[in-house]
Structure 1
């Protein structure tokens, strides 16, 4: 009898559990679960509801998990503030004004260039400038004096020749061979012409370098460096 009972109990137990589930809320259902009741009346009409079926209706219960909102997404931390920008480095570039160049003319009509407005000096007798070679004497106390005005283009001057009186005779005129320094006339060149002449001089030095002696090449290189520096500073836009 025991084996039979054991077999019958194994067959009847699932049916009992199913009937219990059809008439009552499962014990495992939690408060946060959703219970849906499937009700079928005597006419075979089907309805779904969230409360138990009426008496006489066939009931089926379905338990579902209540939808739960996902946890809020973690807020990404704010990025750290950017480090302050490094202060801009101010570079001061000092440019010298272009150096002028002058073209000077000698008395013979030859021309040359100079970095100053003062041409080459030369000594000339005063008579070449229109001054008289003989000046009259005039009495000054017990002496006679001959005064000669001199002008060298910049400064006015005077030359005095004194003669002491001896006896009754006195001089009437004084001859002299004085002279003065004069400079060649110069005029400034336009900046474009200055740059062109510097480049011409640089090119002439390049050609001369190949045939120059070793001692001359040192001077050529030194002059070329000076021309290159002047071209870089004075001839950027020319």
Structure 2
């Protein structure tokens, strides 16, 4: 076998020695052994060479390196089959919550003979100072204290030092007897409207108030067929 040309690698450690050996070894599994010579001359300079003894007058260390075993052929791994996804758990059947009623519940009408029915109580139509109108069961509703704008001593609203309000009273007039049933029906609609927009604990009192008005309409002459 022809010898390779000696190569001078300078001052190398043991790691460089085996690196050179690995480069020099053929990849085939039947490659022969490689002989590495470590040469130190009279001046102390170190050279490492393969398959070539050190020159005369040098201190020589000889190392035989076996070629590494051939790398095994790469075999791609087949991924294991994915586990089937678990079936979704069946949700327990729930009972649907009852829908909120469209209007407050009214009590069933009382069984009163038509001859025993009385006219409904008086009811009043009221007007606010702002010209709003509503139905009231009282001829003298409670007054309201409407806030007034206050100003500073120089007339500047931003320098106002206090607050003030004006008591306002609504004007009310009795609904004529022939229209009293319509007045009570309007009163029921106003209570129902307030019930729809009420929140929390405010709903229950309006529910009771609506039931009371419905009872008046059912037990008086307003409940007669064809009543005005």
Normalization by structure 2: what TM-score? Answer: 0.30
Normalization by structure 1: what TM-score? Answer: 0.29
Which structure is larger by alpha-carbon Rg, 1 or 2? 1
* Greater strand content: 1
